[in-house]
A and B are shown apart, each in its own frame.
Chain A
């Protein structure tokens, strides 16, 4: 192969043009989070300065202590983690199964069922939240983990996402496995799923984030502070006229860390597909 001498200048220009705009966008993306974190280290009176305060203070521990006194971080953290993690596992399981059926099989009612799922995504939650509340209340299941987790396990957005990804999976491989005598479940778990890891990861992140940040339903479905998840607990910090923003920002920062960790852990899955082909 011929060695071509690339002009160092041109190469550098390319890199420049790539990195600079990316970096600017990175700053814009990160900035509010940074501001928020700074807010958790400062006293609440620094919250409204113009320009925004960007220097770290020394109030972090105080704010966290006060926050704990207000809402009990341990219990809230447990609630959010338990609910979100259990939810993701169950929802991923249920939705992926459904998506597979809807994308790789022909059967009666397929179009109808898919249509039903799609339509249900379009219904604004404000319309259905109260009948759902009544349903759980009648079953005496308000203020339980069941109430927080169960209603959204079948989550059409996730079914839809996994279905679209399944469509890209070559059906020929499935056929070949059938001819070889493999059972349907075997095919699903041993052949199809392993190569869907990036899609599963993306869906898992999607589901985790939705549940972790879910506010309206946990607010309505809980009736005691022991069952509060983070968004609800943080909202209770908002008084009418006196709000300790140091606490609020500290709480939000603590609440954001698990999602970031979840994302960092799962993003390795994205790299998996990069090394060689994702299929075969």
Chain B
């Protein structure tokens, strides 16, 4: 038993001792070496940021970048925890998903550095308006725009051809429905596959019409004419068996790789997903812009995208600001990002050859250019702190109309639920 006791003492001792060492790089805000900057970002951004740091170091030898890699959901959990705890445990900066930024700003504005005050307004002209709007509050910019998700309708050219449908002739949603019926008849494939656990498609279709889930006065847009159009479209697709619902992201990607659907509506980032998950479908996919709701209407929307926010309790705000400013507004850096699989929102970089390059996966078409051209046409939408609640109610409403519930009823009920919940 003496052995056991000594073992336990050693363990307790090492435990307490390890409390002092803890990881080679200091996570705590206290000890900060001169120019070390910590940024939280998802895996795809890490190589790009590291290369950028190397370049930046050439003129700023003191600079050290510490990129901590984590999933988007985890970034959110940790940022919320840190904000809740009064700013503890937060890094110098984090790459935040755009549609959550307004929510953070509404509740924790003082925790974010006002970038306009640091001079970022000078760069405003280099970014699309809709992107800036998503990171602006009360006229001040709080995050540096980075990557974007211009939406396209990705479609299986081979399935279309088999059914005798020409993708370039589809201009509005009625055309889309008609094409879907032909495709269903001739090939058995659904026209559109969507994730039933999420509200991505619904959000895209709303934002195509220039709407978010709330208007500037904080009233929900559910129940509006635009929302009725979206719900009706989904219902029409479902009625004719053209809509394939999949439970979750993985099942949705699976439906694409199994050829169960002729189209998928997503941001430009889907190019990367297709290339990696379905290499055997190379040459079979093409892209078109969203069909309009009425002729001449908008064919553009954005889904996804992120921006860099700097936290107020950082001990290195200036250094962080300068590096990120360099990164997000430098032509070569943004080209680097593009090569790394990200779609930049920095307008000048669209002049780069990278955008007019043919993409083998898409039959050597310059698909990147298609998206680049769309960027300045994407309408701005209103974001709100209550978006998360509205999204959850939309997911329910969407399930209802797909199963046949009356569209107006379903939206009215959703509207009431949202209003009750945000009181």
The residues of A with any CB-CB pair to B shorter than 8 Å are 44-45, 47-50, 70-71, 86, 89-90, 93, 129-130, 133-134, 137-138, 140-147, 149-150, 185, 189-190, 216, 219-220, 222-227, 232, 235-242, 244
Taking a contact as CB atoms under 8 Å apart, the answer to whether A223 and B273 are in contact is: no
**Among A44, A47, A48, A133: residue with most chain B CB under 10 A:** A48
Inside 8 A of B258's CB, which chain A residues have their CB?
A: 48-50
A130-B85, A225-B68 in contact; A93/B44 too (CB < 8 A)? no
Taking a contact as CB atoms under 8 Å apart, the answer to whether B81 and A220 are in contact is: yes
Tell whether B78 is near chain A: CB-to-CB under 8 Å.
yes
Residue of B8, B21, B70 touching A235 (CB-CB under 8 A):
B70
Tell whether B69 is near chain A: CB-to-CB under 8 Å.
yes
CB-nearest residue of chain B relative to A135? Answer: B85
Inside 8 A of A129's CB, which chain B residues have their CB?
A: 81
CB-nearest residue of chain B relative to A70? Answer: B43
Inside 8 A of B304's CB, which chain A residues have their CB?
A: 240-241
**Among A44, A144, A147: residue with most chain B CB under 10 A:** A144
Taking a contact as CB atoms under 8 Å apart, the answer to whether A220 and B78 are in contact is: yes
A70-B43, A235-B74 in contact; A145/B27 too (CB < 8 A)? no
Tell whether B19 is near chain A: CB-to-CB under 8 Å.
yes
Number of A-B contacts (CB under 8 A): 161
Least distance between B265 CB and chain A CB atoms (Å): 14
Least distance between B218 CB and chain A CB atoms (Å): 27
CA distance A190 to B19 in the complex (A): 33
Tell whether B352 is near chain A: CB-to-CB under 8 Å.
no
A143-B22, A219-B78, A236-B69 in contact; A242/B11 too (CB < 8 A)? no
Q: Which 8 A-B pairs have the closest CB atoms?
A: A223-B27, A144-B22, A146-B19, A143-B27, A48-B254, A145-B18, A137-B88, A238-B71
Taking a contact as CB atoms under 8 Å apart, the answer to whether B81 and A239 are in contact is: no
A48-B254, A143-B23 in contact; A223/B91 too (CB < 8 A)? yes
Taking a contact as CB atoms under 8 Å apart, the answer to whether B74 and A48 are in contact is: no
Residue of B19, B71, B81, B85 touching A236 (CB-CB under 8 A):
B71
Taking a contact as CB atoms under 8 Å apart, the answer to whether B42 and A239 are in contact is: yes
Tell whether B279 is near chain A: CB-to-CB under 8 Å.
yes
Tell whether B119 is near chain A: CB-to-CB under 8 Å.
no
**Among A50, A220, A241: residue with most chain B CB under 10 A:** A241
Taking a contact as CB atoms under 8 Å apart, the answer to whether B277 and A45 are in contact is: yes
Inside 8 A of B71's CB, which chain A residues have their CB?
A: 235-239
A134-B85, A219-B78, A223-B91 in contact; A242/B272 too (CB < 8 A)? yes
CA distance A149 to B279 in the complex (A): 44
Within 8 A of A (CB), among B75-103: 77-78, 81, 84-86, 88-89, 91, 97
Taking a contact as CB atoms under 8 Å apart, the answer to whether B276 and A146 are in contact is: no
CA distance A260 to B81 in the complex (A): 33
CB-nearest residue of chain A relative to B275? Answer: A242
Q: Mark B7-39, 1 if CB is under 8 A from A, else 0.
A: 110011011101111111111101000000010
CA distance A45 to B209 in the complex (A): 35
Taking a contact as CB atoms under 8 Å apart, the answer to whether A224 and B66 are in contact is: yes
21 contacts between A and B (CB under 8 A): A45-B276, A45-B277, A47-B277, A50-B258, A89-B7, A89-B11, A90-B15, A129-B81, A130-B81, A143-B23, A146-B15, A220-B81, A224-B38, A225-B68, A226-B24, A236-B71, A238-B71, A239-B44, A239-B72, A241-B267, A244-B276
CB-nearest residue of chain B relative to A238? Answer: B71
Instruction: Name 6 extra pairs, CB < 8 A, besides A137-B88, A138-B88, A145-B15.
Output: A86-B15, A90-B15, A219-B77, A220-B77, A224-B24, A240-B42
CB-nearest residue of chain A relative to B254? Answer: A48
Tell whether B280 is near chain A: CB-to-CB under 8 Å.
yes
Tell whether B270 is near chain A: CB-to-CB under 8 Å.
yes
A86-B14, A145-B18 in contact; A227/B23 too (CB < 8 A)? yes
Tell whether B269 is near chain A: CB-to-CB under 8 Å.
yes
Taking a contact as CB atoms under 8 Å apart, the answer to whether B12 and A90 are in contact is: yes
CB-nearest residue of chain B relative to A86? Answer: B11
**Among B20, B22, B84: residue with most chain A CB under 10 A:** B22
Taking a contact as CB atoms under 8 Å apart, the answer to whether A144 and B18 are in contact is: yes
Least distance between A95 CB and chain B CB atoms (Å): 13
CA distance A236 to B253 in the complex (A): 20
**Among B4, B8, B15, B44: residue with most chain A CB under 10 A:** B15
A48-B257, A149-B15, A189-B4 in contact; A142/B276 too (CB < 8 A)? no
Taking a contact as CB atoms under 8 Å apart, the answer to whether A133 and B85 are in contact is: yes
Inside 8 A of B278's CB, which chain A residues have their CB?
A: 45
CB-nearest residue of chain A relative to B43? Answer: A239
CB-nearest residue of chain B relative to A79? Answer: B23
Tell whether B341 is near chain A: CB-to-CB under 8 Å.
yes
Inside 8 A of B276's CB, which chain A residues have their CB?
A: 44-45, 242, 244
A45-B279, A145-B19 in contact; A242/B27 too (CB < 8 A)? no
Taking a contact as CB atoms under 8 Å apart, the answer to whether B27 and A241 are in contact is: no
Taking a contact as CB atoms under 8 Å apart, the answer to whether A90 and B11 are in contact is: yes
Taking a contact as CB atoms under 8 Å apart, the answer to whether A142 and B89 are in contact is: yes
**Among A130, A137, A223: residue with most chain B CB under 10 A:** A223
Least distance between B84 CB and chain A CB atoms (Å): 5
CA distance A189 to B8 in the complex (A): 14
Taking a contact as CB atoms under 8 Å apart, the answer to whether B280 and A225 are in contact is: no
Tell whether B250 is near chain A: CB-to-CB under 8 Å.
yes
Taking a contact as CB atoms under 8 Å apart, the answer to whether A224 and B81 are in contact is: no
Taking a contact as CB atoms under 8 Å apart, the answer to whether B89 and A223 are in contact is: yes
Tell whether B1 is near chain A: CB-to-CB under 8 Å.
yes
Taking a contact as CB atoms under 8 Å apart, the answer to whether A241 and B270 are in contact is: yes
Inside 8 A of A225's CB, which chain B residues have their CB?
A: 68-69
CA distance A73 to B336 in the complex (A): 28
Residue of B16, B86, B341 touching A146 (CB-CB under 8 A):
B16
A44-B277, A146-B19, A219-B78 in contact; A140/B72 too (CB < 8 A)? no
A90-B15, A142-B27 in contact; A236/B22 too (CB < 8 A)? no
Least distance between B158 CB and chain A CB atoms (Å): 18
Least distance between B261 CB and chain A CB atoms (Å): 13
CA distance A147 to B26 in the complex (A): 14
Q: Mark B39-58, 1 if CB is under 8 A from A, else 0.
A: 00011100000000000000
